[in-house]
Chains A and B, each alone.
Chain A
């Protein structure tokens, strides 16, 4: 159930709503009995949050320019402004910045509304506080009347909304292009004159006031929207005559009730309509009131938040627990499946392989031994026997009959060794066995040229031998280490002649020495 406390400045009417339906209303006078009744009502009724709607004469609306400053400074400026004009009403101020000036300092346009005499609310607030009634907020009726203008769908131009919430008051609120600017409330006494006369007179006064205050120009058109009972429309029309600058539009209150969806309300004045609008206002958009008035409501919000939080925590923990339980079950099932697979595999192992276990340990030894033996056997293809056979074939050539080989030194080595640079390194067996297809073999061939004492012929024979070696496809490289007559500038040479023997250059004067590198890959 929602409750709206409509305060007219004298009486306080409680409107009770359930969802969108009007339940009932109670009117309380500000007398001691009235306040006691109000307290009794509050104690007896369910403590649902109440919204207070104030519709009092003692309410000012102004628009002033203030310097454009940051938010904190603006608060200070507004506080000083209010304290200067309305010292007692510091807690009953609503303000809103409505844009900035287009020229000059480009000041902020500050609109504010103030309850100039908040003491009239205090007896009621005291009862509310004593009964622990929750108050969601205090709203100004003129400020929420923008909703009624929206309802009338008249947002353009100068609109003056005339309505009567209680029999003794007539409220006129002025809107420029749908934005509230000012409102005034006048006391009426229907015993002295009918409502039509009052409206005509009050509208005229308000029009002049608006012109004087420059809310409208002197030649601006003003549309007056009168919300009233169907019965009063004819009475009002008799007194309110349209002119070129004044146009009256009448709205039947019952039609508006139907339009907003609260046709079950049977109030003769507009307070019911406003309370209907106010029943759903959000507490953080309230207009007036010191914070202590709302403390019970805040406590309710905190209580609800804590309850909600507790429920969410429990729900969250239940959710997590369920997820973990589900995960546990999945893990358990998976573990069972894996365990079953393990047992099957183990059984398979026992059946197929366990009896070979002692032999299986030797598998790697077998593999390494066989592969290494094969490698050694493969490398054995490079042997001095094969090399010497190749050499014999070369020497059997008819042109090589004068060459006599006296010594062959064969060595197997690995590629990359500087054999031909004179850095002979003896390769260790382990390195040789470790490498794969990297062997080469070379030989140093020492021999004589069987010829007469002609150096030239001996050299020619050796050169031919070298050429033959080089032309052989199995020989990669051949290099002369020593020739019978070395005519190269870097070599030294000596010779001797005598009468008996024409030349004495030593016993090995026709000897030569050749280093040959063979292609290992062919396994010559």
Chain B
């Protein structure tokens, strides 16, 4: 009976198979077409986003340049960007010694080093920070000579520095020397550590 039933509905089974085949082909073809159109759309979106990012990044950079360009040029002029100007520092120290008649100055500049610090890199991206340490040992008439030297370095030397540490000591002077009319030009001894900073574009 089952066989008879199957035989009797044979035509309809074939029809259904054809319908399934037709539907599969139709849906498959439609899907492929839809997918290709969708891919085109996605590509167009990606391209648009790229251009948009490029534009907005460039726009932001332009604003940054407008904001920081002038100060950056000042830094270039001051020798903070690019190669450090050691000659300028030495020149200022030498001239200050002469101008303020500092009796004794000894200075030592260490080898320039790159600061390798992740937090610095993330906070100030795009630049390498280089530092040169300068040790200054001085014999001074009074403490004002130290500050005069620092001021001259600040305003005349090409570069950017800060003072890491500084010690001023009163020298022991014998009573006879102290009583001499001429006195002494070595009342104080000062030892200071200066950090000279230079920036350059990363990898330059």
Q: Are A363 and B62 in contact (CB under 8 A)?
A: yes
Q: Which of A306, A320, A356, A364 contacts B126 (CB 8 A)?
A: A364
Q: Are A369 and B62 in contact (CB under 8 A)?
A: no
Q: Are B129 and A408 in contact (CB under 8 A)?
A: no
Q: Are B160 and A348 in contact (CB under 8 A)?
A: no
Q: Are A380 and B40 in contact (CB under 8 A)?
A: no
Q: Are B58 and A353 in contact (CB under 8 A)?
A: yes
Interface membership of B68, Cβ < 8 A: yes
Q: Are A379 and B75 in contact (CB under 8 A)?
A: no
Interface membership of A97, Cβ < 8 A: no
Minimal beta-carbon separation of A318 from chain B (angstroms): 7
User: In chain A, what residue has the closest Cβ to B201?
Assistant: A365
Contact with B along A401-428 (1 / 0, CB 8 A): 0000111111110000000000000110
Q: Given the complex of chains A and B, what is the CA–CA distance between A271 and B177 in angstroms?
A: 155
Q: How large is the interface on B (under 10, 10 to 19, 20 to 34, 35 or more residues)?
A: 35 or more
Interface membership of B185, Cβ < 8 A: no
Q: Given the complex of chains A and B, what is the CA–CA distance between A329 and B123 in angstroms?
A: 48
A295 and B1 contact, Cβ closer than 8 Å, known pairs A306-B13, A306-B16, A338-B41 = yes
Interface membership of B107, Cβ < 8 A: no
Q: Are A349 and B54 in contact (CB under 8 A)?
A: yes
Interface membership of A321, Cβ < 8 A: yes
Q: Given the complex of chains A and B, what is the CA–CA distance between A311 and B12 in angstroms?
A: 11
User: In chain B, what residue has the closest Cβ to A299?
Assistant: B8
Minimal beta-carbon separation of B187 from chain A (angstroms): 11
Q: Are B68 and A370 in contact (CB under 8 A)?
A: yes
Within 8 A of A (CB), among B103-118: 115-117
Q: Given the complex of chains A and B, what is the CA–CA distance between A339 and B46 in angstroms?
A: 10
Minimal beta-carbon separation of B126 from chain A (angstroms): 4
Interface membership of B95, Cβ < 8 A: no
Q: Is the interface of B mostly helix, strand, loop or mixed?
A: helix
Q: Is the interface of A mostly helix, strand, loop or mixed?
A: helix
Minimal beta-carbon separation of A343 from chain B (angstroms): 9
Q: Given the complex of chains A and B, what is the CA–CA distance between A167 and B121 in angstroms?
A: 113
Segment from A68-76, A258-266, A431-439 that makes contact with B? A431-439
Interface membership of A309, Cβ < 8 A: yes
User: In chain B, what residue has the closest Cβ to A310?
Assistant: B19
A316 and B33 contact, Cβ closer than 8 Å, known pairs A307-B12, A431-B117 = no
Q: Are B168 and A429 in contact (CB under 8 A)?
A: no
A383: which B residues are within 8 A, CB to CB? 150, 163
Interface membership of B184, Cβ < 8 A: no
Interface membership of B164, Cβ < 8 A: yes
Q: Are A363 and B64 in contact (CB under 8 A)?
A: yes
Contact with B along A286-310 (1 / 0, CB 8 A): 0000011001001100110011011
Q: Are A369 and B120 in contact (CB under 8 A)?
A: no
Q: Are B33 and A325 in contact (CB under 8 A)?
A: yes
Q: Are B123 and A434 in contact (CB under 8 A)?
A: yes
B29: which A residues are within 8 A, CB to CB? 321
Interface membership of B101, Cβ < 8 A: no
Interface membership of A377, Cβ < 8 A: yes
A369 and B48 contact, Cβ closer than 8 Å, known pairs A376-B197, A384-B166, A410-B166 = no
Interface membership of A249, Cβ < 8 A: no
Residue positions of B touching A, CB distance < 8 A:
1, 4-5, 8-9, 12-13, 15-16, 18-20, 22-24, 26-27, 29-31, 33-34, 36-38, 40-41, 43-45, 47-48, 51-52, 54-55, 58-62, 64-65, 67-69, 71-72, 75, 80-81, 115-117, 119-120, 123-127, 129, 131, 133, 143, 146-147, 150, 160, 162-170, 192, 195, 197, 199, 201-202
3 smallest beta-carbon distances between A and B, as pairs: A317-B23, A363-B61, A306-B12
